[in-house]
Amino acid sequence: MGQSQSKMEGESSEVHEFPEEIIEEILKRLPVKPLVRFRCVSKSWLSIISSPVFIKLHLDTSLKNNTTHSHTRLICVSADPQNHFRIFPLRHLMDEEETETETEPITSVSYNAGYPDVPMRIVGSCRGMVCVALNEEKFYLWNPSIRRQILLPPLNICPEFDFYMKDGFGYEEFTDDYKVVAILFCNSRAGPFKVKIFSLRANAWKRIEDFKYGNPLDNSGVCLNGKLHWLVDEDSYPGIVSLDLLTEEYARVGPPYNASDNSCAIVEYDEPCLTLGLFNGSLCMLSDDHRTNMDLWVMKDYGVVDSWDRVVRVSHLGNPGFYPHVLRVIALDEDRILFLYGCVVVVYSLKNCSYWYPPTDSVAAVQHADVFVESLISPCDYEANRM
Amino acid sequence: MAAETGTPTTLTLKSNDDELFSVAESAAILSVTIRNMVEDGCAGGVIPLDNVDGKTLASVITYMNGISAIPADEEKKKSYRDKFLSDKDFETLADMVLAANYLNMSCLMDAVSAKIAQVMEKKSVGWVRRKFGIENDYTPEEEAAVKEEHKWTFEGVETDDDN
């Protein structure tokens, strides 16, 4: 072992001189945990691993090399008395043979002081960061992979009777900024509704143009292509409204429709429950008739109404819990699709038309779940680098 | 070039310890460094590779021949790379990553870097310092402070075997 011929004489026949670019080539492929540990190797390694350029390179490499979901983590709000967040490698839900599910309850967001019974809600996840919220009062940006989080400044809304909030979390690439959007929604009025947007770079909320596209149905918008998307009910007709996180402009995205009569294609049940979500990086919609079937629609080309396609009709997956729900659908491989639908976490096999519920101890009593990709990105760094 | 005339051209590569290797030009030009030399017409005689020793060059040529014999099928190429690297120890991998960098062979570079990362994943900080020849320039207090920030990343580290 280690008998490689030395180029130099003497002691260090095994020691190689690695140029920094090769060190980076190797480090960018490491998972987060060893990378954070290797900050201790030397000051120059600390400086490589902490540099914003490397952190971005590492995340982009993980996203590119994530075809087997090895960098994806599932985050669940569990319904245990402490309302823990639980985080698992997604791969642990993929293998039915897997016996050891690595349950790692994370409690690093201290949220339940004074509200022991109120669970946190996952607003969304984007580019390595997760946004969670407690009621309408507190938003946190959190990177569970490095266990760093910040509490956002207060939203400062005037409490009104019958007021509640719709929100969303996303990433805007051009300004490299994470944004949280809050729509101040009032049941007793038809709108327009006040909207505030938080920028992590600015570390501040500001008010933008009101939301006047009907009643948003989802609790949290779905982030795709630098835009947040909400399912809306406009005069009892379902629609999708997007908000561009850079230009702060709203736009409509057409739902699936019947070419024959231009009616909405998903309203073929009496009262289907619709949920907007993400399917492998595309906008998707689940139409649930609460009894027998669920249809998964996917907008294959973003913004092209004709590209909506009913990908699969599955028999009813189970009761997702309180409406509205978080919906994430992930094709694990050619056969299996993972549905995160409210409190339902289930793997569906296209070949056998059968379900597999992952081990109950790992996802017991989930309230809802989302996925995120491991990264070194820290919400604290954005604060520190604020201009 | 070879493809135009139909006769396979063979190149002669020379390692920094003066070993000579014959390799088909079609396989050798996986290295952008070699391809540039061929295109510039500098490949007439012997191509000297001053940064690669004979043992490593032999291994790289095995890889060049193996991978270029596989038709355009990413799956098959990937499983060839995995198998090719599976029994290599850290020192060999280190030699290969330096050679791949010098020869500008991106596919080998990617595969070897990924393999080294996989080997390092559960290793200790001390192991990494030894293998990469890095001197610890922290004071004990500084190192303890950096460690303290993310103590949880030191759980589940393998005991050093130094293989």
Does position A363 have pLDDT exceeding 90, yes or no? Answer: no
Is pLDDT larger for residue B15 or for residue A186?
A: B15
How many degrees, rounded to 5, is the angle at CA A383 between CA A380 and CA A386? 150
CA–CA min distance A129, chain B (Å): 18
Interface test with B, best of A37, A43, A148 (most B CBs within 10 A): A37
Span of A52-66, A82-96, A196-210 with lowest mean pLDDT: A82-96
Min distance A197 CA to chain B CA atoms (Å):
32
Please give the torsion angle defined by the CA atoms of residues B139, B140, B146 and B149, in that order, rounded to the nearest 10 degrees. -150
Confidence grade of residue A359 (pLDDT, cut at 50, 70, 90): low
d(C-alpha A209, C-alpha A224), whole Å: 20
CB contact under 8 A, B129 and A27: no
Categorize the per-residue pLDDT at B52 as very low, low, confident or very high, splitting at 50, 70 and 90. very high
Q: Give dist(CA A68, CA A65) in Å, integer.
A: 8
Q: For chain A, which residues make up each domain, given as ranges?
A: 20-50, 59-384
Cβ atoms A283, A274 nearer than 8 A:
no
Of B89, B98, B133, the CB nearest to A15: B133
The A residues from 134 to 193 touching B (CB cutoff 8 Å) are: 146-147
Bridge partners of A275?
Answer: A286
- Given this structure, which CATH class describes domain B2-120? alpha beta
Interface check for B143 against chain A (CB to CB < 8 A): the answer is yes
Instruction: Please list the helix, strand and coil fractions of chain B in percent, rounded to the nearest 5, in that order.
Output: 60, 10, 35
Cβ neighbors of A169 (< 8 A, separation 6 or more) are A123, A124, A125, A126, A129, A131, A178, A179, A180, A181, A220, A221, A223, A228
CB-based contact B97 A25, cutoff 8 Å:
yes
Residues in chain A with CB shorter than 8 Å from the CB of B113 are 22, 25-26, 29
DSSP E strand stretches across B57-109: none
C-beta atoms of B125 and A21 within 8 A: no
Mean pLDDT of A48-55: 96
Q: What is the pLDDT of residue A273?
A: 79
Which of B131, B137, B147 is opposite residue A42, by nearest beta carbon? Answer: B137
Residues of chain A neighbouring B19 (CB-CB closer than 8 A): none
Q: Is the pLDDT of residue B103 over 60?
A: yes
CB-CB contact of B128 with B119 (8 Å): no
Q: Which pLDDT does position A324 carry in this prediction? A: 62
Residues A251-280 have a mean pLDDT of 72
Quick check: A45 contacting B, CB < 8 Å?
yes
Residue length, chain A? 387
Residue of A nearest to B54 (CA): A5
A5: nearest CB among B55, B128, B134: B55
- Is the model's pLDDT at A86 over the cut of 50? yes
Residue bearing the bigger pLDDT, B129 or A364: B129
Residue matched to tokens 């098959």: B76
**Chain A residues within 8 A of B137 when measuring between CB atoms:** 42-44
pLDDT of residue B98: 95
What pLDDT is stored for residue A362 in this prediction? 52
CB of A57 within 8 Å of any CB in chain B? no
Q: What is the DSSP secondary structure assignment for residue A269, as one 8-state letter?
A: S
For residue B125, give the nearest of A4, A7, A38 by CB distance. A38
For range A297-306, the mean pLDDT: 91
Query: Is the minimum CB–CB distance between B116 and chain A shorter than 8 Å?
Result: yes
Query: Which residues of chain B have a CB within 8 Å of the CB of A29?
Result: 113-114, 117
Residue pLDDT, tens place only, A16-40: 788 999 999 999 999 999 999 999 9
Asked if the peptide bond before residue A192 counts as cis, ω within 30 degrees of 0, the response is yes
- pLDDT per residue over A189-242, tens digit each? 777 888 999 999 999 999 999 999 888 887 889 999 999 999 988 777 788 999
Q: Does A46 touch chain B (CB under 8 A)?
A: yes
As its CATH architecture, domain A59-384 has 6 Propeller (2.120)
Best A11, A24, A40, A64 member to test B by mutation, with max B CBs in 10 Å, is A40
| The pLDDT of residue A108 | 42
In sequence order, the 6+-apart residues with CB closer than 8 A to the CB of A304 are none
Asked whether the beta carbons of residue B138 and residue A40 sit closer than 8 angstroms, the reply is yes
- pLDDT at residue number B38: 87
Binning pLDDT at 50, 70 and 90, where does residue A269 land? very low
Q: Can you give the pLDDT at residue A265? A: 62
Subunit contact B117:A27, Cβ cutoff 8 A? yes
The long-range contacts involving A17-20, CB below 8 angstroms and separated by at least 24 positions, are: A17/B133, A18/B94, A18/B97, A18/B98, A18/B132, A18/B133, A19/B101, A20/A44, A20/A48
- Cβ neighbours of A44 (radius 10 Å): 12
Closest chain B residue to A41 measured between Cα atoms? B125
Would an 8 Å CB–CB cutoff place B140 in contact with chain A? no
DSSP secondary-structure letter at B105? -
Q: What is the residue-averaged pLDDT of chain A? A: 81
Inter-chain residue contact A33 with B153, CB threshold 8 Å: yes
Ramachandran bin of A170, using left for φ above 0, alpha for ψ from -120 to 50, beta for the remaining angles: beta
Q: Is the pLDDT of residue B62 over 80?
A: yes
Q: Do A26 and B92 touch (CB under 8 A)?
A: no
Confidence of residue A134 (pLDDT cuts 50, 70, 90): confident
What pLDDT does A314 receive?
86
Report ipTM (2 d.p.).
0.91
Buried-state track A63-95, b at ≥16 Cβ within 10 A, e below 16: eeeeeebebbbbbbbbeeeebbbbbbbbbbbbe
| % of residues, chain B, pLDDT over 90 | 74
Percent of chain A past pLDDT 70, that is, above it, reads 79
pTM: 0.87
Q: Which of A52-61, B36-45, B78-87, B110-119 has the lowest mean pLDDT?
A: B36-45
Q: Would you state the pLDDT for residue A261?
A: 59
Domain residues of chain B, as ranges?
Answer: 2-120, 125-154
**Of A296 and A11, which is predicted with more confidence?**
A296
Kindly indicate the confidence band of residue B24, based on its pLDDT and cuts at 50, 70 and 90. Answer: very high
Note the pLDDT of residue B46: 86
Set of chain A residues whose Cβ sits within 8 Å of the Cβ of B153: 33-34, 36-37
B4 lies within 8 A of chain A by CB: no
